[in-house]
Amino acid sequence: MTRTSVRFWRWRRNPLKRGSDRAEAWAVLTAGLLLVAGAPAAGAATALNTMASAPEPPPGWHRTTAVLTHRAPPPTVTGTLNTGSAPVQATVRWSGPDGAQHTGQAPARPAAPAGSTTTIWLDASGHLRPAPVDASVVQARAFAYGTAAFTGTALVSGGGLSLVRHALARQRAAALDHEWARFGPGTSAQW
């Protein structure tokens, strides 16, 4: 049995090759390049851009510890959802840069006893500030956004190829119908 190779048939010279065959070959090549090179590049660029644009704490902000003045509130329960591990706001005391004692509300472990410590952020003048975004949160966002960009690029590549192939198939069917009407059975066309 003789086997005929049909690899790369769209790129070979052939007098029967239609313009739609060349268009499909270019569409397949473009979709393949987008899938192999474009999708990973889009994912990596998005992830790196997300990491680079993560907010840093302003100059002069620093982390310190504060002491809970009272027992922290118990975990909050919302409907059937128990958020027991989420921090709660508790009254804390800390020393400012001038040595003066300050009090305020800061995140703490739920039901933490009075006298336990928690981490707080202060600005250069010793005022309590919200904690900056954690590095693990930034990395998780970068991974999620990069994955979404990769997936989106791959879907656009595959979807675009499907649309092009569908349009070319319709064009080929219309051309075949036109030729069949001209030369098909029941016509008086001369060969």
**Residue 6: per-residue pLDDT:** 67
For residue 155, is pLDDT > 80? yes
Q: What is the mean pLDDT of residues 23-36?
A: 92
For 105, the 3-state DSSP assignment is strand
pLDDT digits (tens, 9 = 90+) for 111-135: 889 999 999 998 888 888 888 888 8
Task: Report d(CA 142, CA 52) in Å as an integer.
Answer: 10
- Model confidence band, residue 79 (pLDDT cutoffs 50, 70, 90): low
**For residue 130, what are the contacts with CB-CB under 8 A and spacing of at least 6?**
121
Question: What's the average model confidence in pLDDT over 131-158?
Answer: 93
Q: Where in the chain are the domains?
A: 18-53+139-180, 62-132
Whether the pLDDT of residue 164 is over 90: the answer is yes
Model confidence at 4, in pLDDT bands (50, 70, 90)?
A: low
Q: Give 153 or 79, the one with higher predicted confidence.
A: 153
pLDDT at 160 over 90: yes
Mean pLDDT of 51-77: 86
Distance set, CA 123 to CA 75, 97, 105, 120 (Å): 28, 10, 15, 10
Are residues 149 and 42 in contact, defined by beta-carbon separation less than 8 angstroms?
yes
pLDDT of residue 22: 86
**Given pLDDT bands bounded at 50, 70 and 90, which one contains residue 84?**
low
Is the per-residue pLDDT at 68 higher than 70?
yes
